[in-house]
Amino acid sequence: GEDVEQSLFLSVREGDSSVINCTYTDSSSTYLYWYKQEPGAGLQLLTYIFSNMDMKQDQRLTVLLNKKDKHLSLRIADTQTGDSAIYFCAEKDGTGFQKLVFGTGTRLLVSP
């Protein structure tokens, strides 16, 4: 089945850029997503990218997709303490609907 992998932890200083990486195995993935989870809450969609794109920018967020290597990254510019959270990469499986396969999540800690 599909597998999505992420590193578990990233620590940065406020004002630096953060880069969270993700690898996936399903070559038929059409959409890839980044979700954010704050403590005690559910997940919220940050951004997504369609598989025929290699980059998408949305304010401080930049998503890069290398489809050949099945590698996805999320760059957060000017990281703030409020960005501290768990970030999940997810792919939509090939069977349709909104069945998403999530990665293990990367805990981002931003220190002042």
Partner 1 sequence: NAGVTQTPKFQVLKTGQSMTLQCAQDMNHEYMSWYRQDPGMGLRLIHYSVGAGITDQGEVPNGYNVSRSTTEDFPLRLLSAAPSQTSVYFCASGQGASNSPLHFGNGTRLTVT
Nearer to partner 1, 56 or 75 (CB): 56
Nearer to partner 1, 71 or 99 (CB): 99
Nearer to partner 1, 23 or 104 (CB): 104
Query: Beta-carbon neighbour count of residue 71 at 10 Å?
Result: 13
CA neighbor of 74 nearest in space, from 98, 44, 93, 46: 46
Which residues form the interface with partner 1 (CB under 8 A)? 1, 4, 6, 8, 30-31, 40-45, 48, 50, 88, 92, 97-105
In the complex, the smallest distance separating the C-beta of residue 112 from partner 1, rounded to whole angstroms, is 27
CA atoms within 13 A on the CB side of 62: 11
